[in-house]
Chain A
Amino acid sequence: MSMRTASPIRFELSCPTPLQSHDTILLGHGSGGKLSADLIRDIFLPTFANPVLSRLDDQGIVQINGQRIAMTTDSFVVKPLFFPGGDIGSLAVHGTVNDLAMGGATPLFLSVAFIVEEGFSVDELRQIATSMQEAATRAGVQVVTGDTKVVEKGKGDGLFVNTTGIGIVPDGINLSADQARPGDKVLLSGSIGDHGIAILAHREGLEFESQIRSDSAALHTLVSQMLDVGAEIRCMRDPTRGGVSSALNEIAERSQVGIELEEGSMPVHEQVRGACELLGLDPLYVANEGKLIAVVAPESAETVLQAMKGHAMGQESQIIGTVNDEHRGLVTMRTNLGTTRIVDMLSGDQLPRIC
């Protein structure tokens, strides 16, 4: 083969000095990915060290006078405040109810804290409070205490909401991310990516043939239907920030198992898939607010799946993968071609690609 050319180019190395440390907080520290995990591992866990916290579940479960109480808290900084399928108020109720439900708890009471920026519309605040109350009524929980703070104009971003919730964990229920075992099946309650893409599309003014709506919903009745069949459920997670990938990576890490997903088993609505293709995003990393993942003993998988499909919020449920003892701490995907790839936990937020 002929290799005719002009004078060869001299290749010079020009590499960056690595950025080894984070001495300031980046947005990625709140993404639910590796940077968030670093903060928890390096600062919060050692500082607040106790056995309940160190389980790193979506809720802490404590025992008071023989009664197991689940407690959780979550802050909501979503923009826009109103989006197709919900608003910051209903989202703040659903998010906390779901974090309790993932521990098998029956959600009972919420606290609500509003941090409002000076100049915020009272009308909008009323709408949001009303929406919270409606969501709480539907979820069967009561808002029993609250707090309001107002910050100077420019020192907040309109409105931030925090909710804290408590619930009771029935006897015999013991769900935790460290309990997945090789052979277990991984179940998903429905299509993924709806919430994250609905928010993104609304915020950026991206238009699609039909509107993509957030899946924001309270999942505790679905959970109780699953627990009622008496099957061996090891753990549940709601794949919010960081999506299905982050939730499964956390389980793989905490249980020191591998999790293998099957390509094509993941339900994704066509509109969401189209938006993801367009923006170079992977639905596995996009946030959901009304879906759950359950790791279930293999012999119980079919029973639990049927229970999920029998619930309005679980009709599209599927078995999406299997727990194994290979590649411990990693999530992998078996492609239809027969190859295997890693489904990594992202460092920070997923960023749209250039082309």
Chain B
Amino acid sequence: MKYLDEYRDHRIARALVAEITSCVKHSWVLMEICGGQTHTIMRYGLSDVLPREVELVHGPGCPVCVTPLETVDKAIALALRPGVILVSYGDMLRVPGSRSDLLRAKAQGADVRIAYSPTGAVKIARANPDRQVVFLAIGFETTAPANAMAAWQAKHEGLSNFSMLVSHVLVPPAIRALLGTPNNRVQGFIAPGHVCTVMGCSEYEGLVRDFGMPIVVGGFEPVDILESVLMLIRQLEAGEAKLENQYVRSVSPQGNGRAREIVAEVFETADQKWRGIGRIPMSGLRLRGEYAAHDADRIFALSEITADEPAECISAQVLRGLKKPTDCAAFCVRCTPENPLGAPMVSSEGACAAYYHYRRHSVVSQEKSCP
């Protein structure tokens, strides 16, 4: 398949590993931001083939994982209201809120439906004029344009029964927050290619400048990841810090202008809470005042819900790259994808879940009995 097979070619991947090995002289800690990249690293075992000087740590880039508890709780509460159809991306359905998840709400009789695109949710609203249709609009900058388009369509069609429960997060403020913590270990970033396909690369130039940190915009296949690692290692070994684009087949410096326009038309930046991390200033998107009629938070007057913290979960350290999932005493024992204790275990793209699904056979210590 074009644009896929050549980026999964093991011969090219091996050649890149050989080049990384010959380049690297010092130890470096690199972080990939996007959950899709984490997934690829785990699925193909890329950490196992890289030289020991290169340590990959995994950032908070799984949108499902970092969606705050209260958003999940609100979605469940809405879904259980009579007359409401709650529409969501598939992988949000299993994410636990404080006490339940959307699959359980569905089992209790809630009308919860999966959409393959936000405009699919708009279609459901058109087809059900006597019901309130709420779309759980989550994600990074990648899904923001399509979600924005759904709100725009609803507004312009006067679809008064369509609203969105929004929990949108932005990557650059999160990187800034991670780099600003005193015990940061990360020395180079692989920036998320799909986010940059929409937003372009310019936002990352400030991060490179402010933190003296090399950043490579990377793709999602094994060859993309390895090439991004090589580009970072070359910079780090040469004492350079610049922004480079590995994912040139998809990312242009200015991004997708039309997509950015619709996002700016519908959303505005706001403080945002990240599950497992906390509140990060101006790191999210919310619907503009003009779209208040389609803002589920405002229409349904949803109250904030707080949640208990299992002290055992180390997700804050995992999402900052300070610890590996396998450093956690609960990993694979009391924390599994069926019963997640924390954010990185809740979606298959979370770092803990990726370790669990793909690598627990090789990383779990002998004394833990891992199913």
Contact = CB atoms under 8 A, between A and B. Distances in A.
A3 B49 contact: no
B361 A342 contact: yes
A305 B64 CA distance: 43
Given A339-B45, A340-B45, A354-B91, A6 B180 contact: yes
B187 A1 contact: yes
B96 A19 contact: yes
A19 B340 CA distance: 8
A24 B49 CA distance: 44
Contacts of B101: 19
Given A16-B307, A335-B44, A348-B103, A34 B338 contact: yes
B176 interface: yes
B343 A11 contact: no
A190 B35 CA distance: 32
Given A10-B278, A26-B104, A339-B45, 13 more contacts: A8-B177, A8-B182, A9-B177, A14-B277, A15-B341, A15-B342, A17-B310, A20-B339, A25-B107, A270-B1, A336-B10, A344-B356, A354-B89
B288 interface: no
Nearest to A9: B177
Contact of A8 (B36, B180, B279, B346): B180
Interface stretch (B247-255, B291-299, B313-321): B313-321
Nearest to A6: B180
Contacts of A15: 275-276, 307, 309-310, 313, 315, 341-343
B1 A277 contact: yes
B42 to A, nearest CB: 7
B91 A352 contact: yes
Nearest to A270: B1
A28 B103 CA distance: 9
Interface string B316-336: 100010000000000000110
Interface in A304-355: 327, 330, 332, 335-342, 344, 347-348, 351-355
Contacts of B103: 26-28, 348
B68 interface: yes
Given A3-B211, A24-B108, A17 B10 contact: no
A5 B10 contact: no
B97 interface: yes
Among A339, A351, A352, A355, find the residue whose CB has the most chain B CB atoms closer than 10 A. Answer: A355
Contacts of A274: 1
A273 B311 CA distance: 42
Contacts of B97: 16
Among A11, A18, A206, A354, find the residue whose CB has the most chain B CB atoms closer than 10 A. Answer: A354
Interface residues of A, number: 53
Nearest to A327: B361
Contacts of B13: 337
A352 B89 contact: yes
Main SS class of interface, A: loop
Given A277-B1, A354-B92, A344 B357 contact: yes
A332 B360 CA distance: 11
A13 interface: yes
A273 B1 CA distance: 9
Contacts of B74: none
Interface string B88-132: 011111101111110110111000001010000000000000000
A16 B96 contact: yes
Given A25-B107, A274-B1, A354-B63, A341 B45 contact: yes
B366 interface: no
B309 A355 contact: no
Contacts of B187: 1
A35 B91 CA distance: 17
Among A6, A13, A273, find the residue whose CB has the most chain B CB atoms closer than 10 A. Answer: A13
A9 B348 contact: no
Contacts of A344: 356-358
A344 B212 CA distance: 41
Contacts of B23: none
Interface stretch (B51-59, B79-87, B136-144): B136-144
Interface in B215-229: 222
12 contacts: A1-B241, A2-B211, A14-B309, A17-B96, A17-B308, A26-B104, A337-B49, A338-B10, A339-B44, A347-B94, A352-B114, A355-B63
Among A6, A19, A352, find the residue whose CB has the most chain B CB atoms closer than 10 A. Answer: A19
A3 B179 contact: yes
Contacts of A339: 44-46, 48-49
A4 interface: yes
B276 A337 contact: no
A12 interface: yes
B304 interface: no
B338 A5 contact: no
Contact of B44 (A14, A277, A337): A337
Contacts of A270: 1
A77 interface: no
Contacts of B343: 15
Given A25-B107, A337-B222, A12 B278 contact: yes
B4 interface: yes
A11 B180 CA distance: 11
A341 B313 contact: no
A13 B277 CA distance: 6
Given A8-B182, A24-B108, A341 B98 contact: no
A27 B107 contact: yes
B337 interface: yes
Nearest to B317: A11
A47 to B, nearest CB: 22
A27 B101 CA distance: 13
B43 A347 contact: no
A53 interface: no
Nearest to B283: A9
Contact of A351 (B93, B107, B222, B339): B93
Contact of B307 (A8, A17, A354): A17
Contacts of B49: 337-339
Given A1-B212, A19-B96, A354-B89, A26 B48 contact: no
Contacts of A347: 94, 337-338
Interface string B4-42: 100000100110000000000000000000001000001
A140 B45 CA distance: 48
